């Protein structure tokens, strides 16, 4: 069913459930899983001026993606790791469209009935609204 599954990840180790679900779906459909990390460009700290700063972040991100990629490799799932720079929501949606992604699987915060509007500003909500392909939110 799905041939390209995108998992946007940050540098926190909280994506295991999303990774498990994507791995299961990929295995069933012989899909490729793309692990994507977006390095947010900070206004006033351009890439050229702060090459060392962004270089350190990119090295950390590559190590993190490599560890997640090993998990998929051990399950014999085709995968690749990508890093892009820019606004996280915009870059994830743009990447998904340009790469022909069929499904985005991402970690989302749990709904808090005491603060029902709190989740409206989250990255997962933005991607869910803006993406042109199906989005699976994993809580």
Number of domains making up the chain: 1
Look at residue 48 and tell me whether its pLDDT is greater than 90: no
Look at residue 92 and tell me whether its pLDDT is greater than 90: yes
CATH of the domain at 52: 3.40.50.620
- Percent of the chain residues topping a pLDDT of 90: 76
Radius of gyration of the chain (CA): 15
Is 46 within a domain?
Answer: yes
Domain coverage including residue 67? 4-101+127-138
Is 86 within a domain?
Answer: yes
- pTM score of the predicted model: 0.92
DSSP conformation class of 26: H
Query: How far is CA 118 from its chain centroid?
Result: 21
Look at residue 127 and tell me whether its pLDDT is greater than 90: yes
Look at residue 14 and tell me whether its pLDDT is greater than 70: yes
- Per-residue pLDDT, averaged over 55-82, amounts to 97
Phi, psi (degrees; rounded to nearest 5) at 45: -120, 70
- Per-residue pLDDT, averaged over 21-37, amounts to 97
């Amino acid at each position: 069913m799905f041939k390209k599954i995108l998992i946007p990840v940050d540098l926190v180790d909280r994506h295991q459930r999303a990774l498990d679900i994507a791995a299961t779906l990929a295995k069933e459909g012989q899909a490729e899983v793309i692990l994507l990390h977006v390095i947010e460009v900070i206004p006033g700290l351009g890439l050229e001026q702060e090459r060392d700063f962004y270089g350190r972040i990119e090295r950390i991100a590559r190590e993190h993606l490599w560890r997640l990629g090993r998990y998929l490799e051990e399950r014999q799932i085709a995968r690749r790791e990508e890093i892009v720079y820019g606004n996280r929501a915009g870059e994830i949606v743009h990447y998904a469209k340009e790469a022909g992604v069929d499904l985005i699987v991402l970690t989302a915060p749990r709904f808090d009935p005491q603060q029902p509007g709190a989740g409206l500003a989250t990255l997962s909500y933005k991607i869910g609204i803006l993406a042109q392909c199906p989005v699976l939110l994993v809580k």
